[in-house]
């Protein structure tokens, strides 16, 4: 995937974009971009004057008209090329996703057994059985079993994830593969409505909506275009009144140079590329509005379970009691967990590795695994040599030890209460009639979260953790994760309330979550980022889905949103600024044709009036393709205040937007003047 991210363009995408550039010349398509539609209309007028000179009362030079026509045509084509190229990147990603939509056979549960049917025949509510090595035939929820699922076809991540019935990790996606075990899945979508289908439609840009800022900028560009159109149309009769004859192609050239054609030609490409860059980071944005809103986020609300933490109780510490050693507690805790496939059991063995603690696996050879049951609330091993090892709820293990004739360590209750006060879950470990110690289970914070929250803080974003835990547990997790604030014992309505409170203060709020209880808050937030590992309800309520299920991915989303806004602002500044140089080139040249004495205004020292007009037009055309890489890649994002950012844009793109055209037009004129 990293290779794909580095490669911005391919030859196939360029060829397709060139073809689409001509297809987009359709006036009905061009009308969606008023600035470029005016340029196209001017191109058509010059073409008519060139092809049918007899129908126009004009003394225009045919060669000049042909040259103006070609330059204007390429101006429109270059603008179309920028938009088509940005759309092409989304289509390329969609084609990659379509490869995952292979027709697979589903084992559908029917009356009397299981029937093999094509996945296309599955409907919402159908039950299917998926075993090791088989593809999941459609989006659904695991209703029975636990399995390791390879989601690399969707997320690009090679590590499989655990999916199990119940909780927030039961959602599965069609096109992914079961690596181990067998699960029973209830299909939750009809054909054509699956997650991959929505992804394909979205990355192709079929449902892309313009953002409020983009609509405002479009309105500004349309207004400027209309104003300058009126100016140019009235300029001809005014000039004629004072006996100055202005040729129509020259007036059209003036209009094209006056209106903001550069940003007009690149605006769509900037918006599409912004959504595309989010997808490059494995985040699916439902609209351009969500991406742009991310750039202005002030507050971020995070669900704790499954978002900040892993969501499963994990072994974090071995605590000895009754004078035992940590090594001995860990050794027998590991033996009792060797055949325990629950998240808690696996975490015990993982903690052993992390702490470099040793145990002898041979001790358990030939032993009988005792599964956890609701009645006993314990699990463990009956060893071949007659010894019995148990781990489980403290009260249950105490009763079991007492039944064996053993005694209870005096410090057991104090240690147990200490874990409970910190919001953890204690599991007692015993062998035969002796309790050795406790396993401290807690909902572990995901690695690197503190550093990520520090980054958000530097970006000026406040983080608030919401959890149903008691205040003591919430405070412990909040301190470990490094969030700015937390809300304990929160219910779904509490999350919505804090979002609305922040929004009432004029702030934009982002929410990340993965559970059904997070869905209302995800829908209320300005940016709702759902985890792909979460429930279908959460993903449908959000306007973004993180395919990697990494809540800190919001940092990349925010950076891309800010980058989109910066890119649009920078190119708008550049577009308006470079018009100044074009004015100094074309306006003196236009009037010098009728009043030679006005040559004194030719401060750029251009060769002739005709070469000045053509040079300004040529620069106006070629600057669009030259800026395409910047529009698609985006302006480099650097955390800074709005005032510093404005100052930087004015210096780099404002002053630069004035200087570059002066140099460019002069260099082009040196060449054009040789043959005009």
Which residues participate in catalysis according to the annotation? 303
Distance of CA 506 to the CA centre of its chain: 24
Distance from C-alpha of 623 to C-alpha of 105, rounded to nearest angstrom: 53
- Number of Cβ within a 10 Å radius of residue 420: 14
293 labelled as ligand-binding? no
Residues 505/529, Cβ–Cβ less than 8 Å: no
Residues 541/523, Cβ–Cβ less than 8 Å: yes
DSSP state of 209: -
**Burial classification of residue 315, based on how many CB atoms lie within 10 Å of its CB (0-12 exposed, 13-18 middle, 19 or more buried):** buried
The 3-state DSSP class for residue 588 equals: helix
**Burial classification of residue 204, based on how many CB atoms lie within 10 Å of its CB (0-12 exposed, 13-18 middle, 19 or more buried):** middle
Q: What is the 3-state secondary structure (H, E, C) of 137-151?
A: CCCEEEEECEEEEEC
DSSP 15-31: HHHHHHHHHTT-HHHHT
518 labelled as ligand-binding? yes
**CB-based contacts of 383-391 (< 8 A; 24+ apart in sequence):** 383/335, 387/431, 387/432, 388/431, 388/432, 389/332, 389/335, 389/336, 389/429, 389/430, 389/431, 390/336, 390/429, 390/430, 390/431, 391/333, 391/336, 391/337, 391/427, 391/428, 391/429, 391/430, 391/439
376 labelled as ligand-binding? yes
358: CB partners within 8 A, 6+ apart: 327, 331, 352
- Number of Cβ within a 10 Å radius of residue 422: 13
> For 324-359, b where at least 16 C-beta lie within 10 A, e where not — what string?
beeeebbbbbbbbbbbbebbbbbbbbebbeeeebeb
91 labelled as ligand-binding? no
13 labelled as ligand-binding? no
The 3-state DSSP class for residue 259 equals: coil
In the numeric block, which tokens belong to residue 265?
Answer: 């030609």
In the numeric block, which tokens belong to residue 649?
Answer: 């844009």
Q: Smallest Cα–Cα separation from 318: which of 409, 441, 480, 446?
A: 441
296 labelled as ligand-binding? no
In the numeric block, which tokens belong to residue 432?
Answer: 């035969």
Task: Output Rg (C-alpha) for the chain, integer angstroms.
Answer: 34
Residues 232/258, Cβ–Cβ less than 8 Å: yes
Alpha helices by DSSP H, 299-448: 326-337, 343-354, 394-403, 412-421
373 labelled as ligand-binding? yes
Distance from C-alpha of 669 to C-alpha of 615, rounded to nearest angstrom: 5
Q: Tell how strand 434-445 and strand 425-431 pair up.
A: antiparallel
377 labelled as ligand-binding? yes
Matching residue, tokens 């106006």: 620
379 labelled as ligand-binding? yes
CA angle 54, 56, 58 (to 5 degrees): 100
In the numeric block, which tokens belong to residue 651?
Answer: 């210096």
Distance from C-alpha of 196 to C-alpha of 93, rounded to nearest angstrom: 12
144 labelled as ligand-binding? no
Distance from C-alpha of 671 to C-alpha of 669, rounded to nearest angstrom: 5
Q: Which residues are annotated as a binding site?
A: 340, 344, 372-379, 391, 514, 518
Q: Which residues are annotated as a binding site for ATP?
A: 340, 344, 372-379, 391
Q: Which residues are annotated as a binding site for Mg(2+)?
A: 514, 518
């Amino acid at each position: 995937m990293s290779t794909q991210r580095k490669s911005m363009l391919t030859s196939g995408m360029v060829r397709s974009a060139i073809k689409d550039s001509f297809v987009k010349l359709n006036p009905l398509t061009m009308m969606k971009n008023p600035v470029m539609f005016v340029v196209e209309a001017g191109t058509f007028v010059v073409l008519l004057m060139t092809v049918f000179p007899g129908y126009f009362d004009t003394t225009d030079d045919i060669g000049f008209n042909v040259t103006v026509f070609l330059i204007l045509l390429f101006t429109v084509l270059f603008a179309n090329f920028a938009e088509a190229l940005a759309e092409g990147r989304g289509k390329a990603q969609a084609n990659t996703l379509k490869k995952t939509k292979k027709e697979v056979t589903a084992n559908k549960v029917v009356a009397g057994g299981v029937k093999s049917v094509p996945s296309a025949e599955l409907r919402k509510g159908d039950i299917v059985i998926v075993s090791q090595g088989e593809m999941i035939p459609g989006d659904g929820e695991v209703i029975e079993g636990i399995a390791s699922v390879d989601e690399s076809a969707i997320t690009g991540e090679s590590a499989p994830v655990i999916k199990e019935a119940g909780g927030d990790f039961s959602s599965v996606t069609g096109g992914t593969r079961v690596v181990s075990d067998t699960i029973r899945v209830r299909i939750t979508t009809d054909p054509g409505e699956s997650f991959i289908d929505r992804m394909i439609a979205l990355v192709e840009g079929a449902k892309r909506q313009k953002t409020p800022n983009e609509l405002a900028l479009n309105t500004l560009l349309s207004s400027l275009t209309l104003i300058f159109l009126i100016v140019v149309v009235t300029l001809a009769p005014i000039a004629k009144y004072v006996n100055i004859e202005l040729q129509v192609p020259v007036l059209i050239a003036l209009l094209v140079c006056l209106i903001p054609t550069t940003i007009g030609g690149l605006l769509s490409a900037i918006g599409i590329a912004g959504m595309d860059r989010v997808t490059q980071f494995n985040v699916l944005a439902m609209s351009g509005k969500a991406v742009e809103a991310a750039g202005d986020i002030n507050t971020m609300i995070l669900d704790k379970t499954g978002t900040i933490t892993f969501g499963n109780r994990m072994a974090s510490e071995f605590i000895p009691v009754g004078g035992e050693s940590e090594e001995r507690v860990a050794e027998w805790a590991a033996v009792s967990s060797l055949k325990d496939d629950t998240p808690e059991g696996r975490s015990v063995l993982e903690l052993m590795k992390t702490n470099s603690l040793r145990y002898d696996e041979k001790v358990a050879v030939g032993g009988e695994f005792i599964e956890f049951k609701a009645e006993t609330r314990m699990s463990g091993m009956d060893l071949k040599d007659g010894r019995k090892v148990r781990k489980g709820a403290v009260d249950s293990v105490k009763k079991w030890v007492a039944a064996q004739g053993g005694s209870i360590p005096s410090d057991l209750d104090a240690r147990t209460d200490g874990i409970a006060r910190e919001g953890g879950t204690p599991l007692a470990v015993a062998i035969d009639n002796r309790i050795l110690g406790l396993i401290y289970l807690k909902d572990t914070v995901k690695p690197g979260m503190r550093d990520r929250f520090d980054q958000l803080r530097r970006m000026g974003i406040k983080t608030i953790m919401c959890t149903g835990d008691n205040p003591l547990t919430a405070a412990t997790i909040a301190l470990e994760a490094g969030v700015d604030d937390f809300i304990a014992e929160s219910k779904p309505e509490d999350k919505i309330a804090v979002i609305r409170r922040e929004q009432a203060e004029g702030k934009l709020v982002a929410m990340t979550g993965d559970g059904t209880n997070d869905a209302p808050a995800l829908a209320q937030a300005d940016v709702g980022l759902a985890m792909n590992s979460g429930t279908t309800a959460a993903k449908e309520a959000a306007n973004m889905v993180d395919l990697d299920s990494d809540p800190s991915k919001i940092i990349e989303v925010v950076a891309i949103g800010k980058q989109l806004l910066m890119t649009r602002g920078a190119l708008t500044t550049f577009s308006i600024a470079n018009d100044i140089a074009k004015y100094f080139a074309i306006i003196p040249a236009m009037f010098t044709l009728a009043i030679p004495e006005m040559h004194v205004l030719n401060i750029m020292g251009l060769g002739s009036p005709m070469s000045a007009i053509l040079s300004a037009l040529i620069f106006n055309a070629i600057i669009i393709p030259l800026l395409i890489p910047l529009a698609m890649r985006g302006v480099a994002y650097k955390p800074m205040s709005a005032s510093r950012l404005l100052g930087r844009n004015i210096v780099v793109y404002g002053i630069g937007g004035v200087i570059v055209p002066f140099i460019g037009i002069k260099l082009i004129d040196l060449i054009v003047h040789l043959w005009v």
